[in-house]
Amino acid sequence: MKLYFLRHGETSWNRKHKVQGRTDIPLNDYGRYLAKKTYEGLKDTKFDLAYTSPLIRAKETAEIVLGEREIPIIDEPLIQEMNFGVSEGICFKGDGKEPGGDEFHKFFVDTANYKVPEGGESVPELLERVGGFFDHLSKNKELENKSILISTHGAALKAILNHIRGIDSVAGFWGEGVPKNCSVTEVEVTNGTPKIISEGKIYY
């Protein structure tokens, strides 16, 4: 099984450093450009099917990257972005930083001391959610010879890769940092055992 994990393209909220989470923000023009460049980079890659987060920024990215390929595209809620509860919509960084921004920014720079916003999801809950999706997928005998595109989000993708590596530390969640928009990570699964072949490749 070949898995190609894809983070969605840029949105206006990415550019403004606003907390997105489950808020359904579409790609901006630059995000669509990144997806088109990624399509060009992957145009010779065979895909048998695709899973995508139901959020529009991930779905649109998947559709652009797949281009003319006529394959099943499956909405998968388990790979949608982390829920940030009442913090969604605030600017957490830069000139427009809003009240609560410093506290939320700990999610990226001091994850061990990040306080889950009201109505939000914790890092262990995220790891359990996406880990369950990955384990079920990687053990699916019907898909063991398939090539699959999986379009998701920054924190969700990082959690999947941490799950593959067996990393459950909240403090070390981000490791080398947030995956870039439209970055592609290839994972090969053999007899249910995954191996990361390449990580964070960009085509722009």
User: Would you please indicate which residues are annotated as catalytic (active-site) residues?
Assistant: 8, 81
Q: How far is CA 124 from the centre of its chain?
A: 16
> What is the residue-wise DSSP string for 32-92?
HHHHHHHHHHHTTS--SEEEE-SSHHHHHHHHHHHTT----EEE-GGGSPPPBGGGTT-B-
Closest CA to 55 of 163, 153, 129, 138: 153
> How far, in Å, CA of 154 to CA of 161, rounded?
11
Closest CA to 9 of 149, 153, 126, 158: 153
